[in-house]
Amino acid sequence: MGGEDSRVNTLVTGAAGFIGYHVAEHLLSEGHSVVGVDNLNAYHDRRLKRARLARLMRHNRFEAVRLDLAGRRATEALFESRKFDVVIHMAAQAGVRHSIDHPHIFVESNISAFLNVLEGCRRTRVRHLIYASSSSVYGDTRTPCLEANRCDSPLSLYAATKRSNELMAHSYTHLFELPTTGLRFFTVYGPWGRPDMAPYRFAHAIDTGKRIYIYNYGRARRDFTYVDDAVEAVLRLTVSEPSGCRLFNVGNACPVELMQFLHTLEAAMGKRARRHFLPAQKGDVAATHADVEELFRAIEYRPSTPLSVGVARFVAWYESQNRSQHAAAARSL
């Protein structure tokens, strides 16, 4: 992806979030203009979100807009005031367990906001809408997960909102000929990752000597997908010819038990974790495993970063962040 002829004016929602930040950073590095929208909510540390945004704002082709996409009028004004070629909708309220205790936030952020984005896209004739779905839509299905599988038994409200997004996108493609592509991401991890996800939580606990709570007694299997692989899929789809309503798995297609992930993390950090095993939590699935043949047929790409390589890169970033924070604290004394 690159070159003068391929430059597009792109809206990236959730630009201060994990995947959204990486997508925007890669687009900017290739010469594209990006408007990055985020509401900077307090679901996880705003300092991390602001640090991501600060890195994006080093590019003169980046414009940051603080906006809650659940607000209909403000979202309408955003789309009407600009002419986006492509919209990459990564904004969402994340967290399977968080959705159990805070359901209304998920409906506002994941359904109402998505409707406003769909409306903005169809009214301004956006060429292509790419949006984040989730492997959680599969529920506790037989693996590997194929896009053709039925997805009508979500185990959490978060999963239900993501499946709702897919159905809403299908209706807008059918009614208004809006090309849409939904990406079912499988446990994306890497530098600048969210503090509520297992890689960050485990790394922080190992680093500080705190106990790690391991659910389902460590038997859960996850298809850990390195963030650069997920972003590469997004970028290739951005410049591909959009067609109808599509859904793709984005995963490493190589699930591992949570304990194997923990062992890899311990090796990279050179420390052992203090472990406490617990039963599975409500809303969690036993295993995820992506079949990515549909993705490969569409863009000739499969995520392939080995777990050991991805974890080492994540740990290098985590330790660098810690050094930066300690230095900043020392300067403030």
The CATH number linked to 124 is 3.40.50.720
Which amino acid would we find at residue 212? I
68 within domain boundaries: yes
152 within domain boundaries: yes
3-class secondary-structure state, position 93: coil
**Beta-sheet pairing, 9-13 with 33-38:** parallel
36 within domain boundaries: yes
116 within domain boundaries: yes
Give me the pLDDT at residue 325, please.
64
Give me the pLDDT at residue 332, please.
45
pLDDT along the chain (333 residues), means of 10: 57 97 97 95 84 96 96 97 95 82 91 98 97 95 91 92 98 98 98 93 95 90 97 96 96 95 97 92 86 97 96 97 60 42
- Distance (Å, whole) CA 261 – CA 292: 21
Give me the pLDDT at residue 313, please.
98
Give me the pLDDT at residue 190, please.
98
Give me the pLDDT at residue 280, please.
84
15 within domain boundaries: yes
60 within domain boundaries: yes
Confidence (pTM): 0.92
Q: Which two tokens stand for residue 219?
A: 């038997």
Which amino acid would we find at residue 30? E
Give me the pLDDT at residue 268, please.
97
290 DSSP 8-state letter: B
332 within domain boundaries: no
210 DSSP 8-state letter: P
What is the tally of structural domains in the chain?
Answer: 1
Task: For residue 144, give its domain range.
Answer: 7-325
Give me the pLDDT at residue 63, please.
97
Burial of 116 (0-12, 13-18, 19+ CB in 10 A): buried
Indicate which residue of 21, 43, 158, 226 is catalytic.
158
127 within domain boundaries: yes
Which amino acid would we find at residue 231? V
Q: Determine the Cα angle at 28 with ends 89 and 239, to 5°.
A: 60
Does the annotation count 158 as an active-site position?
yes
